[in-house]
Amino acid sequence: MSSAENLCFKIGILGPSRVGKTSLIATILTEAEKILAGTPTRMLAVGPATKRRIADHNNDLQGSLHAGEFHPGALGGTEEPFEFHLRLDPGKDSLAVDFSLLDFPGGWIDDGRRPEHRESDWEICRKWFAESSVLILPVESTVLMEAAASSHRRAVPSILTIAQIAHIVRDWAKERAKRSHEPALMLLCPVKCESYFGDNGGYRDASGALLSQVKTAYECVLRAAAEEANHIQVVYAPVDTLGCVERIRTTWQPDKHAPGGFDFTAEYAVRPGATLAPKGAEAVLVSLCRHLVKTRAQVQSAILERTAEERVRAQVTANEDCGLFGNLWMFITGERRERRGNAAAWITMEESEQRALKELTSIIEALAERGLGSRAKVLKSDA
């Protein structure tokens, strides 16, 4: 966490290639728009690069809906590290809370598959994780749920790079243990869940089976976090990233060069109506707001610190004793009056920011008090 310009929380997002990290981030933004409707606060993408990445992704999704079918692999994977910048904006830039999420090629998770010339880039990713108090793990739900044959089930950990993720989570948790005074949050987010829930247009409810599969498959990940830092909260938050598709077929194509020996693909049909209806990301947003509430003192201090410093500096300058002739000259030229006016302006600004901060805090607290929804589960609460 830093307080450079706006308060900024770094978030690590960790998953294999093409698991749907961009889709998850876009869904969080969409859900936030609905939740924050009617309030002065909004969640938005910040900066040309993030706006373009989100817009391109949403256009690709809309194109799939118009075509009547959805092929996740066709959206492409991340080829270079990319920082997503999101902002919880109360309408006053100086009080905004920024979230930065680092996406990187999922293949880099595996030491044996990471290109040697990208080791320095990977070290940047590792440093990002070390500085992140929140870690999001997108999970490919169809891989877990459609592994029917024993050979498919054996391939699941390799396809989802679970052992590699557990290793990175352990390193992250060790860093959290060094900062046990700070809250730590890990979110397990199964994505593309439309076919396993009956609460969003789905034809069946296999939500219990999905939860069981995730807990079993990621048991080593959960254990790694718990063994290193007992104050890490773990939340299970399954997400429909489109909400209007239904899985129609999955293919396990033998491929000795692919992780686990299989090239897994899933195809989806668009349900009648073809209207985007993402669901489940509210639990992610609520969990992030609860995380902010736990760091409320740091948030308030970081946001107001800059204005308070400027106000004190202006007051000192306004009341500076410049000696008999210097004071007389400032009186004649009006500089003393100008300095005192500047100091008064800073006092007014500080009071305004305190009021706006109170309003922002109220909104964050109200979001934090919302339920996670029937889908989400707290797998481990704070110690």
Lowest pLDDT segment from 46-55, 56-65, 249-258? 56-65
Higher-confidence residue of 340 and 172: namely 172
Higher-confidence residue of 79 and 138: namely 138
Two structure tokens written together for 214: 């995730």
Q: How large a percentage of the chain has pLDDT more than 90? A: 37
| CATH number belonging to domain 7-299+368-380 | 3.40.50.300
pTM: predicted TM-score of the whole model, two decimal places: 0.82
- Chain-wide mean pLDDT for the chain? 83
- Amino acid in the structure at residue 46: V
Q: Using one digit for the tens of pLDDT, what is the confidence trace for 151-196?
A: 999 999 999 999 999 999 999 999 999 988 889 999 999 999 999 9
Q: Using one digit for the tens of pLDDT, what is the confidence trace for 108-151?
A: 887 777 888 888 888 888 899 989 999 999 999 999 999 989 99
Q: What is the pLDDT of residue 208?
A: 95
Q: 25: helix, coil or strand?
A: helix
Q: What is the mean pLDDT of residues 242-253?
A: 89
Q: How large a percentage of the chain has pLDDT more than 70? A: 82
Q: 87: which strand partners?
A: 44, 98
Higher-confidence residue of 211 and 366: namely 211
Strand arrangement of the beta sheet that strand 82-89 belongs to: 42-45, 82-89, 97-103, 7-13, 134-140, 184-191, 232-236, 377-380
Q: Using one digit for the tens of pLDDT, what is the confidence trace for 30-54?
A: 888 888 888 878 889 999 999 999 9
Q: What is the pLDDT of residue 190?
A: 95
Q: What is the pLDDT of residue 304?
A: 55
Q: Using one digit for the tens of pLDDT, what is the confidence trace for 318-336?
A: 677 767 666 666 667 777 7
Cα–Cα distance list, 121 to 112, 144, 174, 194, 287 (Å): 15, 30, 21, 35, 29
Q: What is the pLDDT of residue 348?
A: 67
pLDDT band at 210 (very low <50, low <70, confident <90, very high): very high
Q: What is the pLDDT of residue 2?
A: 38
**Cβ–Cβ under 8 Å, residues 305 and 3:** yes
Q: Where are the domains of the chain?
A: 7-299+368-380, 305-366
Lowest pLDDT segment from 142-146, 337-341, 357-361? 357-361
pLDDT band at 356 (very low <50, low <70, confident <90, very high): low
Higher-confidence residue of 357 and 135: namely 135
Q: Please report which helix (H) or strand (E) contains residue 279, including its range.
A: none
Q: 264: helix, coil or strand?
A: strand
pLDDT for residue 225 is more than 80: yes
Q: What is the mean pLDDT of residues 220-240?
A: 95
3-state SS of 164-222 is HHHHHHHHHHHHHHHCCCCCEEEEEEEECCHHHCCCCCCCCCCHHHHHHHHHHHCHHHH
